[in-house]
Each structure stands twice: as structure tokens, then as C-alpha cells.
Chains A and B, each alone.
Chain A
Amino acid sequence: MKIVSRVLLFVVIVFATQYLFIAAVPKLIFGIAQYRKPQPVNTVIHNGKTDATMRKVVLPNPDFIYSAVFYDVADHDLIISGEYADSTMYSSLAFYGSDVQPYQVRNNLQGFKTKYAIRLSSVNRVNRTLRAKSKKGVILMRVLATNPAQIAEAKRLQSLFTVKEVPQND
């Protein structure tokens, strides 16, 4: 009887540990990515053309040029401004929560205006505000750039991509 109860306890601990571990992995990975980020939160990190030296994120796409923002909207809102590529190219803006899963993706083929200014907030607001799924997360701007002209255009779009902290009650 004592052995049976011990085996049961063992199985329960194993089951609970694996469940909690699996549930925690996305946040752990976000924590590691945030720890390794080269810039403070709410600032834009621009990357050049992706090659084999890029070893911060697995499975990077060498055809894309990326800009990233590790955001923290606990105390501020963020205004994210920039421009989408024209329809001959592909560009997108993806918002990831602290579970590193995307909760909003906007691209240049969806009919949005070319220029954008998106307010990201952790508090409920009226129209034209994107409610952040979590107070911390990542914004990724991707631009497909497979030839020199597209690379030049991607770099121009990167230069226009900015974030600005504004008060939550503004």
C-alpha cells in the first residue's frame, strides 16, 4: 500500500512538472530573448540582411529584413509609426505577447493606408488603439527584400519605423 501511494505521488509530481514546464516554456524563451536584446525596451533594433551570423532567433528567413522592438507598455502607451511597402513587395507588422505568440499582424496587402501610426496600450481605450495582449512583448517589422532595389527600399522603410512613448492618460 505504501509503495502504491508513493508511485502515485511520483506520477502526480512528474505529470504536474511536465505540464508546468510546457506551459512555462514560451515565457522562458521570451525572457531569454529579452535578456539577449541589444537595446533597451521601447527602442527600435534594426537588422541588416539576414545571414548565417544571425544566431539570436532560430529559423531566420534570409529573404527578409527585420526591425524589432521589445515593448513594455506597463506605464506608457506606444505610438508605432512607419510606412508599409507598396504592393509589389511584402511587408508586415507583427505584435507578439510575452508568450511569443502573435496576436496582431498587419501587412501592406490588406488595404491599410501606406503610412501608419498605431497606438499600443495595455489599458482599454477607444478606437484606433491596439490593446496589447500583455504588458511586455515584441513588435517585428518584416520587409521582403530579394533584390538590391528591394533591399534599398527595405532600408528606407526601416528608417521610417519609429516608436515613441506617450502617457497612458494622454
Chain B
Amino acid sequence: MNTPRPNGYSFFSYYSLLHRVKFLKPTLFILLALLCGLGVGVYRIAGIERSEVFFTNGSWTGSKDLPLGKDKLLTAQASVFALFALPSKEAVYLFARRDEKKELLNSANDYTITGNLNQISAKYWSITAYGKDLYLIPNEADRYSFNNANLVADSTGNFTITVSHVKKGDNWLPAPDNARFNLVLRIYKGDFNFLSGLETTSLPEVKKLQTP
């Protein structure tokens, strides 16, 4: 059945095309639904902070027991944000995207990470800075992280890491130039008792340095 074309519409007008090409409407409908589906999928994968399996302790967010392979959303999130990560029994990964005031980490500011070497009971632990793209941040010092073996600490084990775009302090962790960045705390072969209380135990504290 031909739909009558209202006066004033030319042969190639939008109205005319929609009515002449019968398949266009359902095709657009399905295409729009598919694009919306992909958008929802991307939004859900990107919403890793909204996941209920993660706990937050100070600035750090992570999980001790990810049901990888069972939970499809978590598996997809782990594939995107932590490709080839180890299972929790081997290593625990905690992420910091925000400071103590829940503001996104941005190297327009400087930050300190304070803690004690004995605070984390594990074979190895480290704090690494990554750019917004989750890759290591290029810097002249070739310094990307500090770990329990190379941190400069006082006689009681207290340490302060300064995260800044310019060199500052003994434990300087280079940040990008005026851009967002992330921190990752890795704990390998953590002591059982330490990991049991990871949600509440004291962890190195990430604080924005107040400029005078």
C-alpha cells in the first residue's frame, strides 16, 4: 500500500525516503536497539566501582575473592581493567582512583601516600602509578612504583611516597603532567590473617597535599 506523500515533500526528502524504503524503519529500529545494547554493555563494564563484590578501605578499592569465570560481568571487567591478573589466592589488587576526600586523583595536585613497612604482611607488595589509560607513566627517572624492598623508611618503618609531576622527596613517584592517574596496591602471597581483615585494616593513606 502506498502512503500518500504530503504536498511540499520532494522525491528525495527524508519523509519520502522513509516511506519508500520499507525496510529502513525496522532496520533503524534494530540498529538503534543494538547500539543501545552495546552502550549499556560498555556502561556496565566501565562501572567497576559500582560492583558489590568490591570493598573500599580508605582510598583503596578491591576484592579478596573475585568469582572470575563465574560472574560474566566481573570476568569482562577483569579482562578490560586487569588483563592477565592472578587469582586472589596468589595476589590481591587494590585500586585507588580517588584521594581521602573521594576526589579523583589528578596530577594538577601533589599527593602523599603514608604508611609503615610492617603495615602489610606479605611476600611482596608494591604501589604503582598508572595513567588514565592504565599504562605506566613515562618519566625520566624510569620510576613507576615502590615496593616493600626499595622504599626509603625511617627507623620505625614509616614511609612517605610523594606522587608529583616534579621530583619531590626520597620516595618520589612520578605522576603525569596535569592529568588524571590511578594507583594500584599489589599484595602477593599475603599473610592469611592480614588478608582476612583487609577490609578494615590500616592501609597506606593517599592524601592530597595542600598547597600553601
CB-CB under 8 A from B38, the residues of chain A are 17-18, 21
Residue B157 is within 8 A (CB to CB) of chain A in the complex:
no
From A29, A94, A101, B80 is in contact (CB under 8 Å) with A29
Interface hits, B123-149 → A, CB 8 Å: 123-124, 126, 128, 130, 133-139, 142, 144-145, 147, 149
Please, what's the 1-or-0 string for B149-161, where 1 marks a CB less than 8 Å from any CB in chain A?
A: 1100000000000
Q: From residue A12, how far is it (CB to closest CB) to chain B in Å?
A: 8
> What DSSP secondary structure best describes chain A's contact surface?
mixed
**Contacts A58-B83, A62-B128, A105-B86 hold; do A51 and B144 have CB atoms under 8 A apart?**
yes
CB pair B82–A59 under 8 Å, yes or no, is yes
> Is B37 an interface position by the 8 A CB rule?
yes
Cβ of B113 < 8 Å from any Cβ of A?
no
B146 → chain A, closest Cβ, in Å?
10
Contacts of A147 in B (CB 8 A): 149-150
Chain A positions 61-104 with a Cβ under 8 Å from a chain B Cβ: 61-63, 90, 92, 94, 96, 99-103
Question: 0/1 per residue, A6-46, Cβ < 8 Å to B?
Answer: 10011001111111111101100110010000000000000
B76 with A22: CB separation less than 8 A: yes
The reply to whether B149 and A90 form a contact with Cβ atoms under 8 Å apart is: no
Instruction: Name A49's closest neighbour in chain B (CB-CB).
Output: B142
The stretch of B1-9, B48-56, B67-75, B194-202 in contact with A is: B67-75
Q: Are B144 and A146 in contact (CB under 8 A)?
A: no
Interface size of B in residues (CB-CB distance below 8 Å): 53
Q: Are B136 and A51 in contact (CB under 8 A)?
A: yes
A54 at the interface (CB under 8 A from B): yes
Contacts of A55 in B (CB 8 A): 135
User: Using Cβ atoms and an 8 Å threshold, which residues of chain A touch B180?
Assistant: none
Q: Among B44, B135, B189, point to the contact of A22 (Cβ < 8 A).
A: B44
A4 is an interface residue with CB less than 8 A from chain B:
no
Tell me which of A33, A96, A99, A109 has the highest count of chain B C-beta atoms within 10 A of its own C-beta.
A99
User: A92: nearest residue on chain B (CB-CB)?
Assistant: B90
**Once the chains are docked, how many angstroms separate the CA of A18 from the CA of B37?**
4
Max chain A CB contacts within 10 Å: which of B29, B85, B149, B186?
B85
Inter-subunit contact A58/B150 (CB<8 Å): no
Instruction: Establish whether residues B33 and A138, one from each chain, have CB atoms under 8 Å apart when the complex forms.
Output: no
Query: For B145, what are the chain A residues with a Cβ–Cβ distance below 8 Å?
Result: 61-63
Contact A14 B86 (CB under 8 A): no
**A21-B41 CB under 8 A given contacts A14-B36, A138-B84:** yes
**A107 interface residue per 8 A CB criterion:** yes
Interface residue B104 (Cβ < 8 Å from any Cβ of A): no
Q: B126 to A63, Cβ gap below 8 A?
A: yes
Contact between chains at B37 and A17 (CB < 8 Å): yes
Q: Quick check: A26 and B79 within 8 Å, CB to CB?
A: yes
Max count, chain A CB within 10 A of own CB: residue among B36, B79, B186, B189: B79
Complex CA–CA separation, A16 to B84 (angstroms): 27
> Nearest chain-B residue to A66 (Cβ)?
B84
Chain B: CB-nearest residue to A12: B33
Measured CB to CB, the closest approach of chain B to A1, in angstroms, equals 17
20 A-B residue pairings within 8 Å (CB atoms): A14-B33, A20-B37, A21-B38, A21-B42, A22-B44, A22-B73, A23-B72, A51-B136, A51-B144, A52-B138, A58-B133, A61-B126, A63-B124, A90-B124, A92-B86, A99-B75, A102-B84, A102-B86, A144-B124, A144-B188
A17-B33, A52-B136, A59-B85 known; 5 other A-B pairs, CB under 8 Å?
Answer: A17-B36, A21-B42, A51-B136, A58-B81, A90-B189
